[in-house]
Chain A
Amino acid sequence: MELEFLIEKTALVLVLFVLTLTIAAYSTWAERKVAAWLQDRVGPNRAGPFGLLQPLADGGKMFFKEEIIPSGANKYLFIAGPSLALLVSFLGTAVIPFGQNIEIFGRVVPLQVTDINVGILYIFGVVSLGVYGIMIGGWASNNKYSLMGAIRGASQNISYEIAMGLSIIALLMVTNTLSFKEIAAQQHGWHWNVLYQPLGFLIFLICAFAETNRVPFDLPECETELIGGYQTEYSAFKMGAYMFAEYINMFVSSVVMAVLYFGGYNYPGMDAVNQALGPTWSPLIGVGVMFFKIIAFIFFFMWVRWTVPRFRYDQLMDLGWKVLIPLAIANIVITAIVIVGFDLFNKL
């Protein structure tokens, strides 16, 4: 029993790893394709049909490039930066439920690596660790542009973390639990949290853009001012690690948004499907629905990237501190009033 359990979990973790990597790799391809589509170009189309092998070529290139460590840099930290960034970006998916429990060969397998009952706080902690990869890497490079990018990135991340946490608090007041599994189960059918927390979702969405350093919040690496930002000095796989980390972060935040606000694997009419298909096949449809939502979010990330111009730094800080935080606090108060008022209304 113990060994079987361990094998099951390790297999699940492996699948999740491969999945995350594949999605991150194909996000780079999709980004270029979406950009091409939005700008009326063709995009990558040489490697394989529709350029589908492009991510492999790009990834392979990363490994074959010479890695250069600047002589002025702090060697250990220069390596620690990208490794931390990549490692931390992976950790987020550990608590995500990708579907209902599935029955394979008479065994009930949960499609979730682990259900810790402080799951949301865990995700929040992992997000707060994301600062280190950027900060350490940027500082260790001993390059002015890198340092500026790192400082900008760290300040930006910590500023938007507060608004993100406050928007999660408003969500918790609705769900009453910190466990992802329970939150996903609560949103059965049509009861998606976005219907109860529209403002909270909006704040979370903006903060997710800021935390992943995506346009319009890509000031840590904005190429017109800072060459490459915190990754200016990086080459070969270390640079690839930063890039991968960014795309994995995008994937993870899409997943978190899908589960927290858009019902995860739930879809209207799922009860009928469950009854018709049985416990082996119906969860797979749920997984499909979940991935549809995730891909929709990833597409949204890319769409925004090629539509909206970059913020100026003072605008970015103003948005974070003077707009989003007061809005998030107001959202908490409004949610509390609605819940208490509803309670009173029920009693009358």
Chain B
Amino acid sequence: MSLFYVVAFLSIIFALLVIFTKNPVHSVLYLIATFFTFTIHYIILNAQFLAVVNFIVYMGAIMVLFLFVLMLMNLNTDTEPMKSTLLKVVGAIAGGCLLVTLVGSMKTLSSASTTAMDNTGIGLVENLGKVLFSDFLLPFELSSILLLAAMVGAVLLAKKDNKTA
């Protein structure tokens, strides 16, 4: 249990550093560290597959994309121009909405019982595969269509860019 507190402390520290660092590239790197602590959390929960997926997809893929964007789009100047007040208001409203959602989800969480944890092997890859290909077949196949849509979106984004460049 003490391990949990150490890791949780670390993830909060890194998450705060993400927000408070001036240099965007630094803050992305802190985000990588935050994701790494999340991986440790998953391992402590014995959700190995999730841990490794978090490791590969979030740390390996999404963060590469983030770094690419930051490094290539020239956002890395320390002296970022101040955002307009309208943007600030919109940001505050969006943040408030997220907070409300989180609080709401917390409320439902506290009423749920924690008896679902009797099967500790649930996070192993084999069990996940069995469940994924029997009970959750339709969502699984639908997710592939979602990914296809995302790919089409990526290509469309690129097309727009090529014309201007």
Q: Do A and B bind each other?
A: yes
In chain A between 121 and 172, which residues have their CB closer than 8 angstroms to a CB of chain B? 121-122, 124-125, 128-129, 131-132, 135-136, 139, 147, 151, 154, 158, 161
The answer on a CB contact under 8 Å between B55 and A125 is yes
Known: A154-B64, A158-B64. A118 touches B59 (CB 8 A): no
Bound-state CA distance A135–B60 (Å) is 12
The answer on a CB contact under 8 Å between A125 and B52 is yes
Bound-state CA distance A318–B52 (Å) is 29
Residues of A within 8 A of B52 (CB): 118, 121-122, 124-125
In chain A between 39 and 85, which residues have their CB closer than 8 angstroms to a CB of chain B? 74, 76-77, 80
Known: A74-B25, A118-B48. A131 touches B125 (CB 8 A): no
The answer on a CB contact under 8 Å between A117 and B56 is no
Residues of B within 8 A of A158 (CB): 61, 64
Kindly provide the distance from the CB of A116 to the nearest chain B CB, expressed in whole angstroms.
Answer: 7
Bound-state CA distance A224–B48 (Å) is 45
In chain B between 24 and 43, which residues have their CB closer than 8 angstroms to a CB of chain A? 25-26, 29, 32
Known: A117-B124, A135-B67, A139-B25. A128 touches B49 (CB 8 A): no
In chain B between 1 and 55, which residues have their CB closer than 8 angstroms to a CB of chain A? 23, 25-26, 29, 32, 48-49, 51-52, 55
Contact residues on B (Cβ < 8 Å of other chain), bracket: 20 to 34
The answer on a CB contact under 8 Å between A129 and B59 is yes
The answer on a CB contact under 8 Å between A129 and B60 is yes
The answer on a CB contact under 8 Å between A125 and B59 is yes
Residues of B within 8 A of A77 (CB): 25-26, 29
Which single member of A116, A136, A147 contacts B48 (CB below 8 Å)? Answer: A116
Residues of B within 8 A of A128 (CB): 55-56, 59-61
Is A270 interfacial (CB 8 A cutoff)? Answer: no
| Closest 3 pairs between A and B when the two form their complex, measured CB to CB | A128-B60, A121-B52, A125-B55
- A to B CB contacts below 8 Å, 6 in the list: A118-B48, A121-B56, A125-B55, A128-B61, A136-B67, A154-B64
Residue numbers of A with Cβ under 8 A of B are 74, 76-77, 80, 116-118, 121-122, 124-125, 128-129, 131-132, 135-136, 139, 147, 151, 154, 158, 161, 178
